[in-house]
Amino acid sequence: MSNTYFEILRSGINTTIQDKGRNHMHHIGIAVSGAIDQRNYKLSNKLVNNDLSEAVIEFAYQGPLLKLKNGKINLSITGDVLFKIIRKNSNIEDGICYKNYILEDEDQIDIISTKNSVYGYLSVNGGFELEKVWNSYSTNTKANVGSNNGKKYSTKDKIFIKNSDLKINKEKKISYKRVPDNIIRVIKGTNFDFFSSESQNIFFKREFSVTKLADRMGIRLSGHKLENIISSNIKSEGLVRGAIQVPADGSPIIMLSDHGTIGGYPKIGVVISADLDRIGQLIPGSILNFKEVSLEEAQNIFKAYRDETNKYLNECN
């Protein structure tokens, strides 16, 4: 085992280990978890030559302040993130996302905040010394499953890093630029008919905003109350990421990675797969519009999304 590690001098608001997620456990109540922004998670791994499914550090809003101990590593940060590298000799460098850095022993990395977005990702070449639980490194703080015993990181914790192969660490860059777009595409949900025709109209034509009740489980919206004319409860049934549930108070809630595996509120719609990364990055106060698409359109949009992700990935081959 390597003796190289990050000492956490400041933990940040919600710093966890994430990966592609933990599947095949939904039927016993364990959410998929995984990185909220799957594209940025993959790009951070690619920039340091990792397998795309390697574990990364996910942080939200204010990130951690990390000090490297006993080693030299190659790392990258993705997202829209303000960070600094504090060298051992006290030199401070402004960090740039979507490129790799060599961090020397006793250097620090200070992830100050995400900018107009929620989540960012830190990858190190070789990955972290962690063990998979049910085939995933993801931290699931609801069931306390996965890395760091299923808990978010605290100050003074250590995150051990596998031995990096620094020989292959040439400079890499991706010219990624997030394009702000607050149109979220949705397929009608299985309970769309539960809502009055006026509310159906409002749902697709009016603006909603993201409230402060937003975390890895879901995002509660405000703006308009959606009127349910059939029943505000259904028999509890399975949920998926992106499902938009509407409880009795009429305010929609969008399910994200840590959502409960089943739910009993009617589903007015489901966000398409291609827009899940974006919806997770919307900060409280963001305005969004829902746009209806068909299943076929959603599948085509997903292909375009995947091609675009691959285009970025191929930039640093």
- Which residue's entry shows tokens 């595996």? 261
Could you tell me if residue 229 is left (phi over 0), alpha (psi between -120 and 50 degrees) or otherwise beta? alpha
Under rule CB under 8 A, residue 66 binds other proteins: no
Out of 99, 260, 289, 315, which residue is the one contacting other proteins (CB under 8 A)? 260
Least distance from C-beta 27 to other proteins, angstroms?
Answer: 6
Under rule CB under 8 A, residue 278 binds other proteins: no
Under rule CB under 8 A, residue 295 binds other proteins: yes
Least distance from C-beta 155 to other proteins, angstroms?
Answer: 24
Under rule CB under 8 A, residue 314 binds other proteins: no
Under rule CB under 8 A, residue 219 binds other proteins: no
Looking only at the bridges linking them, the beta strands covering 183-188 and 287-292 are parallel
Out of 119, 298, 312, 316, which residue is the one contacting other proteins (CB under 8 A)? 298
Least distance from C-beta 275 to other proteins, angstroms?
Answer: 10
Out of 120, 242, 266, 280, which residue is the one contacting other proteins (CB under 8 A)? 242
Cβ contact 102:116 at 8 Å: no
Cβ neighbours for 86, distance < 8 A, ≥ 6 positions apart:
92, 107, 108, 109, 110
Q: Which residues of 36-61 are buried (b: 16+ CB within 10 A; e: fewer)?
A: bbbbbbbbbbbbbbbeeebbbbbbbe
Under rule CB under 8 A, residue 302 binds other proteins: yes
Cβ contact 121:77 at 8 Å: yes
- Which residue's entry shows tokens 């979220």? 184
Which residues contribute to the site for other proteins (CB under 8 A)?
23-30, 32, 133-134, 142-145, 150, 187, 189-190, 235-240, 242-243, 260-263, 267, 270-273, 295, 298-299, 302, 306
